[in-house]
Amino acid sequence: MKKNILLITVVVLLNSCQNYGQLKIVADLSKNLKEVSGNEFLKSTNSIWMINDGGNKSKLYEVSKKKGKIKRVIDIDAKNKDWEDITSDDEGNIYIGDFGNNDNDRKNLRILKIKKKDLDEKKADIKTIKFEYENQQEFPPKKDQLFFDAEAFFYFNKNFYIFTKSRVDDQYGKTFLYRVPASTKGKHKAKLIGSFDNCSQNDCWFTAADISNNKKKVALLSQKNIIIFSDFQGDNFFSGKVEKIKLKYKSQKEGICFKNNKTLYITDEKDGGDGCNLYELKVD
């Protein structure tokens, strides 16, 4: 009994001594979310919805925003090929980005739609939005053109905005922005509308994105920093003001979403004894 108490005390002390920089730890997440790859705060449910990375079970998790506890698990009727991010529309429908593309050779890129009414069920049928990048001609392309992986997207004004992840040496922080209609009809061409360079190392590639409730800020997440875009016009998100927030705590951060217009939720994967946490970060 004494050994168990001592062990618990040591774990608590180690966690409390961990330096998370400017990130405020909200909760430890369940071991069922050790490869959490995306999160989305849904105001209608007052919860955070999360998914795991590819290779895990096809499940959607409703998580308490205060304690990080799993409130509900929904079985999704679709294979988790490579789920990378999650977003929602103005009506409360949820979308899962099944577009992870490490080798740049996928021809079945898709976004899965879960209707709001199914968020109260144990199992959800899905509608599929299919797309391909308008400027990809080879599968895979040459090594200096490996720009067609993606881990980040959000919904805005009846469209999805996908931010790609570069796998080109010395250009890891380069992202291309594509627009895809939020329609289940046909197979869409993802239209290229812009690009942005973060930095060159592989901790600079973007792993998640979100737009604020008032649609005035866009946040992109990397392991190294968070980029906040504001004062943009329309969907030209890379115009206007750019703020870089350097993250002092290093971990495999994979999810970001706005809690409100001035607060972000961030999640990271389990890596050794670290990670699998829910954090908050205040932004101006």
pLDDT of residue 19: 62
pLDDT of residue 1: 52
Q: Do residues 76 and 58 lie in contact, with contact meaning Cβ atoms separated by under 8 Å?
A: yes
Other C-beta atoms within 10 Å of 40: how many? 25
The whole-model pTM stands at 0.93
Question: Domain count of the chain?
Answer: 1
pLDDT of residue 12: 43
Of the chain, the end-to-end C-alpha distance in Å amounts to 48
Indicate which CATH number applies to the domain containing 152.
2.120.10
**In a structure prediction context, what are the per-residue pLDDT tens digits for the chain, which is 284 residues long?**
544 444 444 444 344 446 678 899 999 999 999 999 999 999 999 999 999 999 999 999 999 999 999 999 999 999 999 999 999 999 999 999 999 999 999 999 999 999 999 999 999 999 999 999 999 999 999 999 999 999 999 999 999 999 999 999 999 999 999 999 999 999 999 999 999 999 889 899 999 999 999 999 999 999 999 999 999 999 999 998 999 999 999 899 999 999 999 999 999 999 887 899 999 999 98
pLDDT of residue 5: 46
C-alpha to C-alpha distance for 156 and 154, rounded to whole angstroms: 7
C-alpha to C-alpha distance for 277 and 207, rounded to whole angstroms: 16
C-alpha to C-alpha distance for 229 and 238, rounded to whole angstroms: 7
Of 32, 29, 22, 61, the residue nearest 268 (C-alpha): 29
Domain span at residue 46? 2-282
